Structure 1
Amino acid sequence: MYKLGFIGMGNMASAIQEGFINSGYIKADEICGFDLSEIATEKAKARGVTPLSDGHEVIRNAEIIFMAVKPQVVEKVVAPLKEDLKGKALVSMVLGYDFAKYETMLDPSTRHLTFMPNTPIAVGEGMILLEDQQTLTDDEYDFIKKAFESAGSVEVLPSHLMGVGGALSGCAPAYIYMVIEALADGAVAQGLPRASAYKLASQTVLGSGKMQLASGLHPGILKDNVTSPAGSTIKGVKALEDGGLRAAFINAIEKSMGK
C-alpha cells in the first residue's frame, strides 16, 4: 500500500512530489500515480514514483488520494471513480472546487480536503493553503499538514478566502519571476553579467521575503530602513512609483481572480 496516490501528475503535482521527497518526509517509493501524459509519467518514474495504469488502480493502492487534474475535466474524472472513493481520503488542489462543491460530487463516506499549493513547494519554500472545512480523520489531517509543512508554510483559510489567497500565493510566483527578470535586465544593461544578475536578483527577493517573515515588520518599515534621504534607493523607489508598480500588482491580483 502506497501512502499517497496522485490522479494527475502534471507540473504542480510534480512539484508537490518533489517537495515531499526532497524533505525526506515521504519517500519516493511511498508514492504512486497515474497520468495520461507519457512525458509526465516518465518524469514521475525518474523521481522514483510508481506509475499505475489508471485512477481506479491508484485509489485501490493508496491511503490518501491527491486529485491533481485540470478544472475543466475534474467532474469527468471523478464521476467514474465515485464508487472507488467510498471510505477513502481525497485531497484536491483543483481550482474552483471547494468543500461545498465536492460534497455534491462525492459519496458521503468519502473524506476530503481542498488545498492550494504553489510551485516553490518543489524546493521546500511552498505556500500551501488549506480550506478550513474538511472531513479527514484527525490522523489523516495531521499527516497531510505535516507533509506540507515539510516542504513549505501552511495557512488555513475559510472557504470564501481560498480564491483570493490562491490568487496571491498561487499566481504571484509568475509575477515575482518577472520582477527577478526585470531587475536582472536592468543590471545587465549597466554591465553586470547575466548569470550574476539573476543570482543577485533571486537571492535579494528570497532574503527580503525571509526578513519580513522573521521580523514581522510592516514591509513599508523595512523599505524605509533601506531608503536614505536623497540616496540611490529612494530615487529607484520614485521611479517604480512613477511606473505604477503598486497599481500593477494590485490589478494583477484582481485580474487573476477573473474580475
Structure 2
Amino acid sequence: MKKLGFIGMGNMASAILLGAVRSGFLKGEETVAYDLNGFKLDSMNKACGMARAASTEEVIADSEIVLLAVKPKAVENILAEQRERLKGKTLLSIAAGWQYSRLRRLLDTSTHICAIMPNTPALVGEGMTIIEATNDLSQKELIFTRRLFGSLGQVEELSSEMMAVGGTLSGCAPAWIFMVIEALADGAVYYGLPRDIAYKLASQTVLGSGKMVRDTKTHPGKLKDDVCSPGGITIRGVKALEAGGLRIAMMNAMEAAFKKPD
C-alpha cells in the first residue's frame, strides 16, 4: 500500500510529487499515479521512482490517501465512476472550484474529503498551500496533509468562504510575478545588462523582498519607505510605477481572475 496516490499527473501534481521527494518528506516508491499521458508517467517514474498505475481504480486500491489532480471539468465524472471504490478512503482534491460542499454531494459519507489549493512554486520548496478548514480528515490524516504541503513551502488554513479569493491570489499571482520579473529584466537588458544576469538579479530580488514581508511581518509600505531616500532614484521609480498604474493593474488582475464571466 502506497502512502499517496495521484489521479492525474499534470504540472501541479508533478510539482507536489517532486517537491515532496526532494524535501525528503516522501520517497518516490511510496507513491503511485495514473494519468492518460503515459509519457508523463514514464518521465516521473524516471525522475523519482514513482510507481506507474494502469488505471484510476488501481491508484485508489493501492493508496492510503488519494490526491485528485485533474482538470475541474473532469472531476464530476471521475467521482461518479469511483464513488463506490472511494468508500472509506481519504481524498484530497486540488481541482480549482471544487470545495468541500461540492465534493461532499458526490461522495459517500464514509469518504474523508479535504479541498486544497497549492501553487507551482511548491516545486522549489516555496509554495503557498491553502487547506479548507471544513473537511473530514482525521487528526492523523490532517497532520500528514499539513506536513506534505508544509514540505513544499507555507500552509494556511482558510474558511470555505475565503477559499476562492485566497486561492485566486496564491494560485494566479505566480504568473503575474513572473511577468514582473520578466519586465524588470527587460528594463535592465535595455541598458546593456546580459539577460541571464538580469533574470538572476530580478528573481532573487523578488524572492528576498517577499521573504522580508513574510518573515519580518512589517507592512510592505514601511519596507518600501525605508528604501526610498528623499529625492533618490528609488522614489523616482515609485513615481513612474504609480503613473503607470501598477497598483490598480494588480487589483484589476485579481478582480478579473476572481469574478466569474457573465
Q: Scaled by the length of structure 2, what TM-score is found? A: 0.98
| Coordinate RMSD, CA, aligned | 0.7
Moved more, 43-52 or 177-186: 43-52
Give the aligned residue type for 1:46. Answer: K
- What is residue 27 of structure 2 aligned with on the other side? 27
Give the aligned residue type for 1:93. Answer: I
* Structure 1 moving runs of 4+ over 2 Å: none
1:205 to 2:195 alignment: no
In 1, the alpha carbon distance for the partners of 2:213 and 2:107 equals 41
CA drift at 1:78: 1.3
CA drift at 1:72: 0.8
Give the aligned residue type for 1:134. Answer: N
1:57 to 2:96 alignment: no
In 1, the alpha carbon distance for the partners of 2:243 and 2:254 equals 20
In 2, the alpha carbon distance for the partners of 1:18 and 1:248 equals 34
CA drift at 1:191: 0.6
In 1, the alpha carbon distance for the partners of 2:214 and 2:104 equals 36
CA drift at 1:258: 2.8
In 2, the alpha carbon distance for the partners of 1:26 and 1:244 equals 44
- What is residue 110 of structure 1 aligned with on the other side? 111
In 1, the alpha carbon distance for the partners of 2:244 and 2:256 equals 19
Classify the secondary structure of the residue corresponding to 1:105: coil
Classify the secondary structure of the residue corresponding to 2:105: helix
5+ residue gaps in structure 1? none
5+ residue gaps in structure 2? none
Q: Aligned residues: percent identity? A: 53
CA drift at 1:51: 1.0
- What is residue 14 of structure 1 aligned with on the other side? 14
In 1, the alpha carbon distance for the partners of 2:68 and 2:259 equals 23
CA drift at 1:43: 2.1
CA drift at 1:63: 0.3
Total equivalences in the alignment: 259
Classify the secondary structure of the residue corresponding to 2:154: strand
In 1, the alpha carbon distance for the partners of 2:222 and 2:32 equals 47
In 2, the alpha carbon distance for the partners of 1:100 and 1:72 equals 17
CA drift at 1:114: 0.3
Write out aligned runs for 1:180-191 (5 A): 180-191=181-192
Classify the secondary structure of the residue corresponding to 1:9: coil
- What is residue 236 of structure 2 aligned with on the other side? 235
In 2, the alpha carbon distance for the partners of 1:97 and 1:201 equals 35
In 2, the alpha carbon distance for the partners of 1:87 and 1:38 equals 29
Classify the secondary structure of the residue corresponding to 2:32: strand
- What is residue 2 of structure 1 aligned with on the other side? 2
In 2, the alpha carbon distance for the partners of 1:37 and 1:258 equals 32
Write out aligned runs for 1:141-160 (5 A): 141-160=142-161
CA drift at 1:79: 1.0
